[in-house]
Amino acid sequence: MTKDVQVGIILGSDSDLKTMSKAVEILTKFEVPYFITVGSAHRSPERVIQLVRRAEAENWQIIIAAAGMAAHLAGVIAAHTTKPVIGVPMESSGLGGLDALLSTVQMPGGIPVATMGIGSAGAKNAALFAVEILALSDPALKQKMLDYRREQTESIEKKAVKVEAGD
């Protein structure tokens, strides 16, 4: 599966896997080849740099990084590549993920990280945003995204019918 990877997902810890499975579901649904692995900015910094080199060598298009607490992973990756890096703050402390959010989003001018919301909503949106980028040069993928949006809207409408009916 590591051939033709378009999106790399790097988890700061394997404990982030459950939350980030929401991103995997989206990429699978959109048939976007992805590679998912673990690499801690703090506990395995060389590995993270090697993963970035692999991203360059294998021509990944986008990197999604998920980390909690003092979440440096997305920023460290962004410092080593000019590919778009998407950061997803994990909720892994009593602070509700505020620490991870600020650590991910408040990047200094010069090195951008595209930050998503905390936790599983952010995980899902990270993958959708990656698809939106890829869809810029892939009309078939854009069509899939339009379909996805339409289905999403229809799903709301179905729920609305149920709520209106008092079910």
> Residues 42 to 61: which contact a copy of itself by CB under 8 A?
42-47, 61
- Classify each residue of 67-103 as buried b or exposed e, where b means 16 or more C-beta atoms within 10 Å of its C-beta: bbbebbbbbbbbbbbebbbbbbbbbbeeeebebbbeb
Provide, rounded to whole angstroms, the least separation between the CB of residue 144 and a copy of itself.
10
| Per-residue mark of binding to a copy of itself, 98-137 (x: CB under 8 A) | xxxxxxxxxxxxxxxxxxxxxxxx--xxx-xx--xx-xxx
What is the C-alpha to C-alpha distance for residues 74 and 160, in angstroms, rounded to an integer?
Answer: 38
Q: Is 31 in the site for a copy of itself (CB under 8 A)?
A: no
Q: For the segment 6-25, give every residue that binds a copy of itself (CB under 8 A).
A: 11-14, 17, 22
Q: For the segment 74-93, give every residue that binds a copy of itself (CB under 8 A).
A: 75-76, 78-80, 82-84, 86, 91, 93
Q: Is 139 in the site for a copy of itself (CB under 8 A)?
A: no
Q: Is 40 in the site for a copy of itself (CB under 8 A)?
A: yes
Q: Is 32 in the site for a copy of itself (CB under 8 A)?
A: no
27/116 with CB nearer a copy of itself: 116
Dihedral sign, CA of 144, 56, 70, 19? positive
Pairing outcome for strands 85-89 and 62-67: parallel
Residue 150's SS3 state is: helix
Length of the chain: 167
